[in-house]
Amino acid sequence: IGAGYVGGPTMSVIADKCPNIKVTVIDIDDKKISSWNDVDLRNLPIFEPGLKEVIERCRNKNLFFSSDIKKSISEADMIFISVNTPTKNKGFGAGYASDLKWVESSARQVAEFSQGHTIIVEKSTVPVKTAELIQEILKSSSSSDEYKKTFSVLSSPEFLAEGTAIKDLENPDRVLIGGEDQNAMESLSNIYKNWIPKEKILKTNIWSSELSKLTANAFLAQRVSSINAISALCETTGAEISEVVMAIGSDKRIGSKFLSPSPGFGGSCFKKDILNLVYLCRFYGLNDVANYWEQVMFMNNWQKHRISSLIIQKLFGTVSSKKILILGFSFKPETNDTRESPAIEICKDLIENGAELLINDPKVSKVQIEIELGLKEFENNNRNIGKWQFITDINKAAENADAIVIVTEWEEYKNLNWRKLSDLLRKPSWIFDTRGIIPISLLKELNSYYWQIGSPSKNYND
């Protein structure tokens, strides 16, 4: 249940690796299901490297996408709940707690339409004790149903990184199964064993499984915020962030992953899961622990606004009516996901200060950007002094622009002719590299001022 960023790729890989199992992905969104069934695989609702090939191999063989909720649930022996669990925006826990309305709705649909014994697998990222909610709904159904339905509830959270989701599914670091029913756990384990070594399949109680997902994301987000805090210190002290990363990343106790400075973390999980963890800690009276994890979020928000402020500062303290080319809007390369992308806050800050933004992204649509910014293309109203437009021709957009801001490290941007782009800008001009993708060897050839995150020696191209 749920044909989004988790359900679509996960179930497609299961179908690909288990040809003898019939997999049906269902969703109440008919438009989304139509996209998954589109003959033209370029129109899939999600972009992930390798996903198109998996769909091509399996679709309409043992992989099906449907909006027939009742029929699909009634036929299922095992049901994965992969629906969205956004942060609540009102009511108790607003701004921190997860909104479980879609999980609850899915559980009620399973309770109503399932037949015989059904195994339910939590795949969505959920707060600890969500399984109790599902079990309570199912228990109420089974006790009143004349056909005596029975259920087993398991937790098997996803540990995917968008942009590498198919690789992560095909060769995961580990697969986690939490539950109480050993037979149900073994049934799920047998599916994974079709392509995953049994030593990578970890079994825990259901509460440990749910908490492990939140904790993993919190730890990864903490590393991002930590290195971003150090990048700011590097810029003011003369240290080079790349050299600091090399030094500390060589320590086997620390490792090199998630130590790349950036404009902040994005995506659907990190922010939501940290806020959820903060809410849980406060709920159980662990206020000091909650405050500790909340600082990770504060640092991430600070980093995004720090970059916006720095851009304005470098452009003589004002961006009013200045043209700024934004390269990248997705929260990371190789995905069209824009949820919590650093580009959103950076662009909003610049528009609110009067900038005219020219936004490019290889996979993000104009409609997505309109939704995220809450402002239509070319619109200039009383709330927003500036405006934006979507562009595909980067060279044309660079003509007489005042600055370029690299927000997402798409491979296409690394291979741009930066000498030519620099020459096209209105002088004096700036290139702001929030990802450090332009080679140091090229800097002296750029006819623009250049700022790179965590690198004070490159603040000016003297």
CA distance 290 to 282: 6
Is the backbone of residue 360 left (phi > 0), alpha (psi -120 to 50) or beta?
beta
**CB contact at 8 A, 63 and 26:** no
- Supply the DSSP symbol for 320: T
| Greatest Cα pair distance in the chain | 81
Name the 3-class secondary structure at 21.
Answer: coil
Residue closest to 14 by CA, chosen among 157, 163, 188? 188
What DSSP letter does each residue of 365-425 carry, written as one string?
-HHHHHHHHTS-TT---SS-SSEEEE-S-HHHHHTT-SEEEE-S--HHHHTS-HHHHHHHS
Q: Is 18 a catalytic residue?
A: no
List beta partners, residue 152. 119
Q: Which of 18, 58, 269, 281 is catalytic?
A: 269
CA distance 189 to 171: 15
Residue 302 CB-density burial (10 A; 0-12 exposed, 13-18 middle, 19+ buried):
middle
The dihedral sign for the CA sequence 209, 211, 213, 216:
negative
Could you give the strand order of the β-sheet that contains 78-81, starting from the edge strand earlier in sequence? Answer: 78-81, 117-122, 150-155, 175-178, 201-204
**CB contact at 8 A, 121 and 80:** yes
Helix (H) or strand (E) holding 357: strand 356-360
**Each residue of 406-419: b (16+ CB within 10 Å) or e?**
bbbbbeebeebebe
CA distance 164 to 338: 16
CA distance 118 to 115: 7
Active site members: 269
